[in-house]
């Protein structure tokens, strides 16, 4: 049975069933469930992911988020994994409201 987070329905793993229902309040609740306190850098990555999704209708590959963090914050490759320690797909994609990717390269 799917869980419900605020007003958006999630699958059994906690990913949004419909990414267009995502809000920042839902992101904050999903982050809380993942034991992540969202910082400005988290929000930057999440908003980049949402913008990419709006343009392409798919979640961005991790390497695009890493490039964004590098350009905007001078971050290195490890920063994404420091922000989301249990993984890009497990935490970043979930909090950004992406559907669970079927197969994924963390690039």
List the CATH number of the domain containing 43.
1.10.10.370
Domain count along the chain: 1
**Cross-strand bridge partners of residue 16:** 10
Domain annotation covers residue 18: yes
Spatial separation of the C-alpha atoms in residues 77 and 62, rounded to whole Å: 10
The domain in which residue 82 lies consists of 8-95
b/e per residue, 19-45, with b = 16+ CB within 10 A? Answer: beebeeebbbebbeebebebeebbebb
- Structure tokens, 30: 């999903």
pLDDT score of 103: 61
Mean pLDDT of each 10-residue bin along the chain, 107 residues long: 61 91 96 96 97 94 95 93 94 93 56
Domain annotation covers residue 40: yes
Domain annotation covers residue 53: yes
Domain annotation covers residue 60: yes
Domain annotation covers residue 102: no
Domain annotation covers residue 103: no
Domain annotation covers residue 42: yes
Domain annotation covers residue 37: yes
Other C-beta atoms lying within 10 Å of the C-beta of residue 61: 16
Q: What residue ranges in the chain does DSSP mark as E strands?
A: 4-5, 8-9
| pTM of this structure | 0.86
């Amino acid at each position: 049975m799917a869980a419900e987070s605020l007003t958006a329905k999630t699958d059994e793993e906690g990913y949004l069933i419909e990414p267009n229902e995502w809000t920042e309040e839902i992101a904050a609740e999903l982050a809380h469930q993942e034991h992540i306190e969202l910082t400005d850098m988290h929000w930057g990555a999440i908003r980049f992911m949402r913008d990419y999704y709006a343009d392409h209708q798919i979640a961005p590959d991790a390497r695009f988020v890493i490039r964004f963090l590098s350009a905007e914050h001078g971050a290195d490759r490890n920063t994404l994994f420091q922000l989301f320690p249990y993984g890009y797909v497990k935490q970043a994609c979930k909090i950004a409201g992406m559907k669970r990717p079927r197969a994924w390269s963390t690039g």
